[in-house]
Structure 1
Amino acid sequence: MTSPRALRPPFAKIPRRISRKLSTQTLRISLGLGVTFLSACKDGSETAAAAPKPPAQVVVYKVETRPFADTTTAVGTLRSNESVEISAAVTEQVEALHFEDGQTVKKGDLLATLTSHEEIAQMANAKAILAEEERELKRLSGLSETGSVAKVTVAERTTRGVLAKAGIDRIQAMLDDRNVRAPFDGVVGLRRISVGATVSPGTVITTLDQLDRMKLDFTVPEVFISQLGKGSAISVRAAAYPDRTFEATVENVDSRVDPVTRSITVRSIIDNKSHELLPGMLMSVNLQRNQREAITVPERALVPLGKSQAVFRLKEDSSVERIGVQIGARVPGFVEITEGLKVGDQVISDGVGGLSNGAAVKVSESFSGPAEMFNPSADAEAR
């Protein structure tokens, strides 16, 4: 069995006096190294602090005025000037269709014929009855002049003739119900049924739209009422034609303002003789008021400070100062400045990140314009 003495570490045999001496020397060496390290760090930091910081590279914008206006964008759904779903007035079988999809028709043109064999037979019978009544009335009228027939008999026969004519008119109305005609000039849509189908009131045969003039109803804030009188010209856009503008004329303004939204509905008319616009299209209207010349800066020059805004203005000594500004309306890429700047001031438009009051800067270039808006369709075409 190994004794406890044999398990002691080797340095345990060093005399206590020599051990204390070694510990004191080790402590002195450690303190010396620490002081040397701290001195080296201090010298390095003083050297770094002494090195001048290079001025930040920035882009500047010379403040100028631009035309501004209070704008609003309204949207509405396009509707044809006249629109109807063509349907039958009676329940009957379709005998013939007289139009093609998308055909232009005139008022009164025959669109569909329904089966009318029974009504045609009734019409022949009614005409025969009327002819008989007219012949009998003529004969009795001659006898009445000689006194051979009482006048009351002639009057009765006259009444029967009137009733026979009314019967013909009634059957003619039934025949007319079986001839479906266009109620106005327009363009028919797609055919919804086939020959031989049984239709009833409410069954859509096709649609008919008057496309030469289109209606666009949209709502705007009540502050724009004074600019939208009857006959006012406005410009509208369609999502289907993003690069085009269509001219419209205000036809009427609603007689009431919505008390909840404080908006009013405006009806405008668009000339559409080319039939490019179709019912159901989404249209947008841009309206402007209070047009003015205003001081502007690029939107990216603004530095948010809580609920307020500021910009960095370039000073003559190539340093910057941060000044608070009041902003107004915006247009793509620019913002109106109502207070804080004057025409001719130079503000930092690019490179504001990391700037502080009094920082030195170096102007690399002048502001050339805002970045173009992202167009996903153009990006897809490029790929």
Structure 2
Amino acid sequence: MTMKRPTAKRMIIMLICVGTLLGALIGLNLYKAHMIKKFMARNGVPAVSVTSAVASYQTWQPQLSAVGSLRAVRGVDVTTEVAGLVREIAFSSGEEVKAGQVLARLNDESDRAQLASLQAAAELSQTVYTRDKAQYEIQAIAKAQLDADAAELKSKRAQVEQQAALVGKKTIRAPFAGRVGITTINPGQYINPGDAIVTLQAIDPIYVDFHLPQEQLGQLEAGQSVAVNTSAFASRSFGGQVRAINPRVDSATRNVQIEAVLDNREHKLLPGMYASVNIDVGSAQRYLTLPQTAIAYNPYGATVFVIKPGEHKNAQGETMPVAQQVFVTPGPTRGDQVAILKGLDERAQVVTSGQLKLKNGTPLVINNRVLPANSPAPMPQEQ
């Protein structure tokens, strides 16, 4: 009996120590959780800097857009039909020339001497034919002699015409009115047939060639107005009309070639330039519009983050807005813009950049000093 009392006493002391230790551990964990909760409540979720835009209705003119290339109404590399030594260049590079104006002359002295010789021979044949004709009328010579004289006269005249044509080819003229380019041909240089002397381009008016898918053929017709923009004149649009539609669709691309004619009296547009072509089709439509950067696409659909009033406060004590994700139905696009058909109200403020860090309830700091592109007709920028 005496041995059991110390054992029980030690057991009680051990239980008290274990209970105290467990209580201390539980208290420490509760205090730790309380401090973490207090810290999180004091600091909150960090705010994300974003840009924003207000959804508003805009009038959209349905258009067909394409990339085209400018082409001269008439353009040719002026050359020569015969070989020869250049005697004279009769134009200045970049000059406007008239149809038939002399551009260059080749050395033709020997050809002209040959022409004079043939003309003299033709005149002699004419004299012989005239004399023999008079003799034939008085029955002094046979009809065969007169016929031989006539054939000889025709042959001589043909030789004169042939030589005169050769002499004429030594003078190179402009086949039509236009602007000549830059020439590298100089007097004293020998050129062969086919060697380019200078390019000649008739650029007022000027054509633009472009292609459209066959699905859009039903919206096209000759005479429709077109607007053409080029990177060389980014702030200006050039007007014109559809002139012709190719009657054949390319079997490889299923595209059809369109030709439009543009007024170019200022000669600002040049053949070979790149051009963006827009054709107005149908009546104007009103769409709720946002920048395309506001839309986030995922397997579940298209979403935007709408900016809503929030309860979080910043260091200055100001209430910060928060993000709320909503599903929308996007429609057609126009340049940097997209139409919203469903899911958004007019004047809703929407995040346009910085969405990757957002989720529902994220506090926002709106910074619109640098905004995403939002142009209905953007132009390429050359750096």
TM category, shorter: 0.7 to 0.9
TM-score scaled by length of structure 2: 0.77
Write the distance in 2 (CA, Å) between the matches of 1:63 and 1:372.
12
Deviations 1:231-255 (A, max 9, x none): 2110001111111111122110111
1:76 aligns with: 68
Q: 1:134 maps to what in 2?
A: 126
2:277 corresponding residue in structure 1: 285
Q: Secondary structure at the match of 2:215?
A: helix
Unpaired runs of at least 5, structure 1: 1-23
Query: Any conservation in 1 of the 2:226–2:280 contact (CA below 8 Å)?
Result: no
Q: Distance in 2 between matches of 1:31 and 1:203?
A: 104
The DSSP-based 3-state class of the residue aligned with 1:280 is coil
Q: Secondary structure at the match of 2:249?
A: coil
C-alpha spacing 1:376/1:191, structure 2 compared with 1 (3 Å): closer
Say if 1:338 and 1:144 are closer, same or farther in 2 by CA, change over 3 A.
Answer: same
CA 1:48/1:177 → structure 2, altered by over 3 Å: closer, same or farther?
A: same
Q: CA deviation at 1:66?
A: 2.3
What letter corresponds to residue 222 of structure 1 in structure 2? Q
Distance in structure 2 (CA, Å) of the matches to 1:64 and 1:128: 89
The residue that corresponds to 1:337 in the other structure is 340
Provide the residue aligned with 1:42 in structure 2.
Answer: 33
Q: Does residue 167 in structure 1 map to residue 163 in structure 2?
A: no
Aligned to 1:90: 82
Query: Is the Cα contact below 8 Å between 1:301 and 1:347 reproduced in 2?
Result: no
One-letter amino acid of the structure 1 residue matched with residue 303 of structure 2: A
Tell me the alpha carbon deviations over residues 80-114 of structure 1, each in whole angstroms, 9 at most, x when there is no partner.
11111111111211122211111222222211111
Match of 2:148 in 1: 156
Are the counterparts in 2 of residues 140 and 154 from structure 1 also a CA contact under 8 Å? yes
Matched position secondary structure for 1:230:
coil
Contact residue 192 and residue 204 of structure 1 kept, 8 A = no
- 1:105 aligned residue: 97
Are the equivalent residues in 1 in contact too, given 2:69–2:209 (CA < 8 A)? yes
Taking only aligned residues, the RMSD between alpha carbons, in angstroms, comes to: 3.9
For 2:288, the equivalent position in structure 1 comes to 295
- SS of the residue corresponding to residue 259 of structure 1 reads coil
1:43-80 Cα offsets, whole Å, 9 max, x none, are: 31343466695997998866543223555532222121
Instruction: Tell me what 1:19 maps to.
Output: none
Picking from 243, 248, 265, the partner of 1:251 is: 243
1:311 to 301, 304, 312: 304
Give the fraction of aligned pairs with identical amino acids, expressed as a percent. 27
Q: How does 1:26-37 map to 2 (within 5 A)?
A: 37=28
Aligned to 1:99, what secondary structure does the other structure show? Answer: coil
Quote the offset at 1:289 in angstroms.
4.5
Cα distance in 2 between the residues matched to 1:352 and 1:306? 17
Report the Cα distance in structure 2 between the residues aligned to 1:252 and 1:80, rounded to whole angstroms. 15
> Which shifted more, 175-184 or 51-60?
51-60
Distance 1:171 1:44, change over 3 A: same
Matches of 1:336 and 1:288 in 2, distance apart? 18
Q: 1:375 to 1:270 in 2, by over 3 A?
A: closer
Structure 2 CA distance for partners of 1:376 and 1:321, relative to 1, 3 Å: closer
Q: Distance in 2 between matches of 1:371 and 1:152?
A: 93
- 2:258 corresponds, among 266, 279, 289, to 266
Residue aligning to 2:187:
195
1:196 aligned partner, one-letter code: G
Structure 2 unaligned blocks of 5 or more: 1-13, 312-321
* Equivalent position to 2:328, from 319, 325, 347: 325
In structure 2, give the amino acid aligned to 1:45: I
Deviates more, 1:335-344 or 1:220-229: 335-344
Matched residue SS, 1:256? strand
Q: Any conservation in 1 of the 2:245–2:256 contact (CA below 8 Å)?
A: yes
Rounded to whole Å, the distance in 2 between the matches of 1:327 and 1:201 is: 62
Moved more, 291-300 or 160-169: 291-300
2:224 is aligned with 1:222: no
Distance in 1 separating the partners of 2:186 and 2:292: 61
- Give CA-to-partner distance per residue, 1:319-351, whole Å, 9 cap, x none: 87643222122235542222333556x354368
Q: Which amino acid aligns with 1:218?
A: F
Q: What is the rounded CA distance, in whole Å, between the counterparts of 2:234 and 2:308 in structure 1?
A: 44
More displaced, 146-155 or 157-166?
A: 146-155
Taking structure 1 as the reference length, the TM-score comes to 0.77
| Inter-CA distance 108–259: structure 2 relative to 1 (3 Å threshold) | same
Task: Confirm or deny: 8 A CA contact 1:70 1:329 kept in the other structure.
Answer: no
Q: What is aligned with 1:66?
A: 58
- Name the stretch that deviates more: 206-215 or 283-292: 283-292
Residue 42 of structure 1 aligns with an amino acid whose one-letter code is A
Contact persistence 2:55–2:350 (CA under 8 A)? no
The 8 Å contact of residues 108 and 182 in structure 1, kept in 2 or not, is answered as: yes
**Quick one: distance in 1 between partners of 2:336 and 2:87?**
64
Q: Which residue of 2 aligns with 1:12?
A: none
Q: Which has the larger radius of gyration?
A: 1
- The match for 1:146 among 134, 138, 153 is 138
Residues 311 and 322, structure 1, Cα contact 8 Å, conserved in 2: yes
